[in-house]
């Protein structure tokens, strides 16, 4: 069954504010997590990833935080822009050396940025 | 552009039709995937191919038949579909399977079954 979920289906923020999108997972064996962004009419696009041996990873305007104690993942977007409006998915891989690149996706959060 | 292309982008077919979806990746990857994306549901993994060999069939009905003739191309053959099969079908590719890793998605084919 689905093991990855999101706390909020929608999030609206004002341009320039910071956005935080949350994700919960239930499988302790998950060792790799990815955030994807999907704009209307397009396929999911990789944003940032993090492995379970890390707590935080930063990219350009984005930060992913991983709290393995409570099985929680978050994506922080700094200075949110209208172009950030999209659906954001978290995905987990239950690896541990598995040879299958199976990603479990959450339902997604629709981020809307208004001026 | 992600380096993964899909054709057609839109497809409308009747329940008695036979059609095929095509995916091509230009990234030198050796693993390819088919996903189904329905409204209000998470992405569902359908098939996984590694080095042209199917390594996973995620309980997909036989009216969906994948084909991977080489590491750059992936097809999904459709026949006698049902209206509930209407969805966005996404193809993805990755360097390999071990330990997960970033999957690159195509733009998808929007399928409507009438």
The string of DSSP codes covering A33-96 is EEEEEE-TTS--EEEEEEETT-SEEE-SSEEEEEETTTTEEEEEESS--GGG-EEEEEEEE--S
Q: Rounded to an integer, what distance in angstroms lies between the CA atom of residue A47 and that of residue A89?
A: 10
- The tokens of B14 are what? 């009747």
pLDDT for position A5:
55
Does the pLDDT of residue B98 top 60, yes or no?
no
Q: Compare CB distances from B103 to A42, A103, A108 and report the shortest one's residue.
A: A103
When pLDDT is averaged across residues A32-46 and rounded to a whole number, the result is: 92
Please identify among residues 38-57 of chain B the ones whose CB lies closer than 8 Å to any CB of chain A: 40-43, 45, 48, 55-56
Model confidence at A44, pLDDT cuts 50, 70, 90, reads very high
When pLDDT is averaged across residues A36-61 and rounded to a whole number, the result is: 94
**What is chain B's mean pLDDT, rounded?**
90
Does the pLDDT of residue A95 top 90, yes or no?
no
Q: Compare CB distances from B42 to A49, A95, A105 and report the shortest one's residue.
A: A105
Model confidence at B57, pLDDT cuts 50, 70, 90, reads confident
Chain B residues within 8 A of A110 when measuring between CB atoms: none
pLDDT for position B83:
94
When pLDDT is averaged across residues A32-55 and rounded to a whole number, the result is: 93
- The tokens of A102 are what? 């199976």
| B65/chain A closest Cα distance in angstroms | 20
Does the pLDDT of residue A72 top 70, yes or no?
yes
Does the pLDDT of residue A6 top 60, yes or no?
no
B75 three-class SS: strand
- The tokens of A51 are what? 């492995």
Q: Indicate yes or no: CB of A43 within 8 angstroms of CB of B107.
A: yes
| A38/chain B closest Cα distance in angstroms | 10
Q: Rounded to an integer, what distance in angstroms lies between the CA atom of residue A28 and that of residue A66?
A: 12
Weakest-pLDDT range from A19-28, A66-75, B103-112:
A19-28
Question: How many angstroms separate the first and last alpha carbons of chain B?
Answer: 31
Q: Rounded to an integer, what distance in angstroms lies between the CA atom of residue A78 and that of residue A17?
A: 7
Share of chain B above pLDDT 90, in %: 68
Q: Rounded to an integer, what distance in angstroms lies between the CA atom of residue B38 and that of residue B44?
A: 8
Does the pLDDT of residue B91 top 50, yes or no?
yes
Q: Compare CB distances from B94 to A4, A43, A101 and report the shortest one's residue.
A: A101
């Amino acid at each position: 069954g689905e093991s990855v979920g999101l706390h909020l289906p929608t999030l609206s923020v004002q341009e320039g504010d910071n956005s935080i999108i949350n994700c919960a997972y239930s499988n302790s064996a998950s060792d790799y997590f990815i955030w994807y962004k999907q704009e209307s009419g397009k396929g999911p696009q990789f944003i940032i990833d993090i492995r379970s041996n890390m707590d935080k990873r930063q990219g350009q305007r984005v930060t992913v935080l991983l709290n393995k104690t409570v099985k929680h993942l978050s994506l922080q977007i700094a200075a949110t822009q209208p172009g950030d409006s999209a659906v954001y998915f978290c995905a987990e891989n239950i690896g541990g050396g598995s040879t299958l690149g199976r990603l479990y996706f959450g339902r997604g959060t629709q981020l809307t940025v208004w001026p | 552009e992600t380096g993964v292309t899909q054709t057609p982008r839109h497809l409308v077919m009747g329940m008695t039709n036979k059609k095929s979806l095509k995916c091509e990746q230009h990234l030198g990857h050796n693993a390819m995937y088919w996903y189904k994306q329905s409204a209000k549901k998470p992405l569902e993994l359908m098939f996984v191919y590694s080095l042209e060999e199917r390594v996973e069939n995620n309980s997909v009905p036989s009216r969906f038949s994948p084909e991977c003739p080489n590491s750059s191309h992936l097809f999904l053959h459709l026949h006698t579909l049902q209206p509930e099969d209407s969805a966005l079908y996404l193809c993805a590719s990755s360097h390999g399977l071990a330990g997960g890793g970033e999957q690159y998605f195509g733009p998808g084919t929007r399928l409507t079954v009438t």
